[in-house]
Amino acid sequence: MNRLKTVTALAATLVLLNCGIANAGDQEKPGVEVKLRSERDTAKIVVADDRVQISIRSAKGIGDATIRRIGPSWPECVVLRLHLKALEDFRVSGGDITLHASLSSYPSTPRIRRWKNDEEEILLGKESEYWMPIKRFDAKGDPAAEIPLKDGWIEIRLPAAFLAEQPLEITLRWIDFYRG
């Protein structure tokens, strides 16, 4: 296995362990299906037990996707990996709820902001049931401090409260500060 595949496999395992998955791997019947608007974008789904990781590579840095659940309920843990350099705007909508996030483009002090619906002036704190943990990783799968990310990704774990109403579909929209 070449180094890139090893790093990718290790990073996927670490993310899934964070959701409580010990033996991550592809299954024939994932709990979700992903439809991307752009034919140039790609998505990979990794499923284990009641957890799913969706890795999205965006060719232009601007895109959207629809994620549809298969079965009566969403997996317990849904982790998104956006292979971007920074995050000017991120939106995830399901039912009556839209969650937003932004990861600043300032290399020395990247800030992450989160808010619900269109209330950008009311930021979500860690105590909110809609808090989305957002992490940055470099190409090696190590936590990244600097922006723009170089061949890394932004990881977002969807909050359980967001998925609690069991919408059939959720939509994602993203804009990379450094889109190309």
pLDDT tens digit sequence for 2-48: 333 333 333 344 444 456 443 444 444 448 999 999 999 999 999 98
Percent of the chain, pLDDT > 70?
79
Higher pLDDT pick, 155 / 147: 155
Is 180 a member of any domain? no
User: Residue-wise over 57-85: b if at least 16 C-beta within 10 A, else e?
Assistant: bbeebbbbbebebeeeebbebbbbbbbbb
Q: Is residue 30 part of a domain?
A: yes
Q: Domain range spanning residue 34?
A: 3-175
Half-sphere exposure of 84 (CA within 13 A, CB side): 30
At residue 18, the pLDDT reads 53
Report, as an integer, the average pLDDT of 132-136: 93
pLDDT of residue 29: 45
Cα–Cα nearest to 122, from 103, 105, 99, 106: 99
- Asked if residue 33 belongs to a domain, the reply is yes
pLDDT tens-digit profile of 48-87?
A: 888 899 999 999 999 999 999 998 999 999 999 999 998 9
pLDDT in tens, 88-130: 999 999 999 999 998 876 655 557 888 788 888 888 889 999 9
Distance of alpha carbon 9 from alpha carbon 53, whole angstroms = 12
Q: Is residue 43 part of a domain?
A: yes
**Average pLDDT score over residue span 165-174:** 96
Q: Tell whether 91 is covered by a domain.
A: yes
- Number of domain units in the chain: 1
- Asked whether residue 34 is domain-assigned, the answer is yes
